[in-house]
Amino acid sequence: MRRSPSLLLLVSLWLPAGLAAAAPQYKVVNATEFGKAFVAQRQDARTLSAALRLTLADITAYLGSAPSSYRAYSDSRDPSSGGATFVANAGGVALKGLVTCKVSPKGTRVAVVMIRADAPPEEFGRLLNPEAPNAPAASGDAKAIATGHAPLRTYSFPDGTGTIGLAEGWSTNAQSCLRMVQMQGPGNEGITMGAVFTIATPGARFRAPGALVAQFTTPAEVLQAVMPQLSQAGLRQGEPMRELDSVVTVADQKPYMPRGKLAILRWGVTESSNNGSRAHYKVFGQVAITPLNASSFTMRLTGARAPEANFERDLPVMLEMINSLKTNDAQIRARNGQALAAQKNWFNNQQKAHKAQVAAFDAHNRQWEASEKAFDARNQRVEDAQNTRARSNDNFDELIRGYRTVEDTETGLKRSADLGNVDKIVDDLNEHDPGRYREIPLRDEVDPLR
């Protein structure tokens, strides 16, 4: 691809001579028209944190201003190794970069790579060319910077409902994206997607033993109320004690369902095992709470967690995996339909068997006519209860699908609309032709009231 002279001029403005003006002496080991790679041997840093701090000062002195982002990390398997990714601006040119450090008794080796943020992905690879003398090694962080994302391999859910991307070292045995999906990383990282909990309010008249209990307030407050209860339940199954701390609401978002609440949160979790070991993790997640009725609601949780030391480094890759989920909507609809048909078939068979039993009993003994009417009334209550449960399941399925049917009552034409915006869409349509358009919840399409 031909590059413009103006682009080369901008590169020369922000990369005039390397980091030679800052101590220690940095040596240029590779250069392209988009960036440069430097190495240096430090004798003024005996620890990884000191090396990263001093290198940040060198970068700041060289660029004339501090990077707008400098995210440092240490290698969980080698505490003497680590690095940082950074974003900076020099003379109006946006840059991105990578620092790697290795502490040893003979000194600390530092490598710094800077490149224009708009450089083609392959240009970062050119700077990390292993054939260049003393060039810094291409790490997973470097690959992520070079491509703008981490390389992911595709995992297909066995039931055909979708796919998701897994970074190197990550695994999952999830069978479907219709249920909770859990993924495990190589360094005790973890991702949970679509975990759903039913929660009773404190004033609920009826609730199952061991049910989760919380007020319907905010996602952050519900999370703080529910997590200790989940921890106690986990303890009974031999899991570590989990203590929640530092819950912060990053942003409130528009909920998926009417009267629901949705927020992006950050929080910390300390795990204490039976052997006395403790580990602290950071979590970034989305929490949605949605009312079911006056005395219960659901909490839906998707979160990415990692050990605190590696969290900022691992979070971008974890978020990319979460965002890589692709659903097969046709297969999801088919499976939901199959489940609903099986549920209805079971109920119909139960009804047939019961009615045959009642008919035989009535034929042999007419004096039990009153009992037969009582049985019919009971069957009707069972049918109504089944219908209520089915409609409740339909509400949950609709929440997962994320859309609702809108009908033109004059033509009978039906279309699907985003669940979060369907009310406004129908109102806007009816503004010019009142009453013509209506939204049809999934429960009324599949299981209308009887």
Cα distances (angstroms) measured from residue 326 to each of 63, 154, 204 = 41, 10, 38
- pLDDT tens across 276-306, in order? 889 999 999 999 999 999 899 999 999 999 9
Give the C-alpha distances (Å, rounded to integers) separating 380 from 333, 358, 371: 29, 14, 14
Straight-line distance from the first to the last Cα atom of the chain, in angstroms, rounded to the nearest whole number: 67
In whole angstroms, give the CA distance from residue 244 to residue 150.
30
For residue range 113-150, list pLDDT tens digits in order. Answer: 888 888 776 677 777 654 444 555 555 555 554 444 45
pLDDT the model gives residue 148: 45
What's the number of CA atoms in the CB half-sphere (13 Å) around residue 159? Answer: 19
Could you tell me the pLDDT band of residue 151, with boundaries at 50, 70 and 90? Answer: confident
With 80 as the cut, is the pLDDT of residue 338 above it? no
Work out the mean pLDDT of the chain and round it to a whole number.
80
Distances (CA, A) of 398 to 170, 338, 393, 405, 426: 30, 16, 9, 10, 17
Q: Distance between CA 111 and CA 121 in Å, rounded?
A: 20
Q: Which amino acid makes up residue 356?
A: A
CA 49 to chain centroid, in Å, comes to: 30
Cα 173 off chain centre by: 17
Q: Is 210 left (phi over 0), alpha (psi -120 to 50) or beta?
A: left
> Looking at the DSSP assignment, which residues form a beta bridge with residue 84?
72, 99
**Domain boundaries defined on the chain:** 5-147, 153-325, 330-446
- What's the CATH number of domain 153-325, 3.30.310, 3.40.50, 3.40.1000, 3.10.510? 3.40.1000
Assess contact for 341 and 334: CB atoms under 8 A: no
CB atoms within 10 A of CB 183: 23
How far, rounded to the nearest angstrom, does the alpha carbon of residue 28 sit from its chain's CA centroid? 40
Q: Which of 385, 379, 430, 375 is nearest to 406 (CA)?
A: 430
5-147 placed in CATH 3.40.1350:
no
When pLDDT is cut at 50, 70 and 90, the band that residue 215 belongs to is very high
Q: How far is CA 15 from CA 36, 62, 197, 282, in A?
A: 8, 9, 54, 37
Number of residues that make up the chain? 450
